[in-house]
Each structure stands twice: as structure tokens, then as C-alpha cells.
Amino acid sequence: MKNYRAVLGPNEREHWDEECQKATKSIRSLYVYDPSEVTHLCEIAPSFYLMWVDVSTIRADDREDGTIDIIEQCAHDAAEDVYMHVSDVLKLPNEDLGEYDDIDEAIEEIRANQCNLLIYEDPHVMSFT
């Protein structure tokens, strides 16, 4: 059994077009990682390997024009696992997920039950697909 953590990635909103930026306050990916494993990617600073779980979107308003659905679908389509410096990950909202047999089990658990990180910014307008 290994201990896994979830991290809410940095706000990716600025990388979207103007219409998407108007529709959202935040677009962030949720990742799971093993804090006991670090990788050195041709540099001295260690990195965690973050496995993408889902996307978290905070709406800017109550619009129902389908923009948020399109953003979330595009975020899902572009989703990928990433390496991020340990120091950067530790600055972001983190949550201990507990012990699991493997990371896939931890990911399934977080998808089934969500996690406290999803209320980090605004519990009233959060969408987690």
C-alpha cells in the first residue's frame, strides 16, 4: 500500500480564448500523484509525475449557453499527465488521499467521491465533470 495525494493544478484560464475567459473564473485540472516518487528531468530540481483525473471549472456567471460544456469537453480532450516541479506542486492546494494498492485505485476513488480540493475556490459555482 502506498500513500497518494491529489493536487489542484494552476489556473489554466489564461490559455483559453477570450469568450472562454469571459465565461469562467477558473479552469483547473485535478491530478493524483505519489509523493514518494520524484523524477529529475535533465535538471537538478525534482519533479512529481501528476496523473490527470478531471477538470474543475468555476463559472463567471449563470449563463446556460453551452460555453461551459464546450470548455469542459475541450479540457477533457486535451488532458494529459504532466511533470511539475515538487516546489510548485507543494505551493498548490493538496489533499492526502490515504493509502491504496496502486495509483489507479486512488484515481478511481477520487473520481467516485470527489475531494475537498474542489471547494477550494468557490463551493457554489464549482463544476466537476
Distances 96 to 9, 92, 106 between C-alpha atoms, Å: 15, 13, 11
Let me know if 8 is exposed, middle or buried by CB neighbors in 10 A (0-12, 13-18, 19+).
Answer: buried
**pTM of the model as a whole:** 0.77
Q: What is the DSSP string of 34-97?
A: -TT--EE-SSSSEEEEEEEEEEEEEESS---SSHHHHHHHHHHHH---EEEEHHHHHHS-EEEE
Sequential pLDDT tens for the chain (129 residues): 999 999 988 888 888 888 778 888 888 888 999 999 999 988 899 999 999 998 877 777 776 777 777 777 777 777 889 999 999 999 998 888 889 999 999 998 888 776 666 555 554 333 343
Instruction: Check: CB of residue 52 under 8 Å from CB of residue 28.
Output: no
CA distance 124 to 126: 6
Distances 83 to 32, 39, 40 between C-alpha atoms, Å: 12, 8, 10
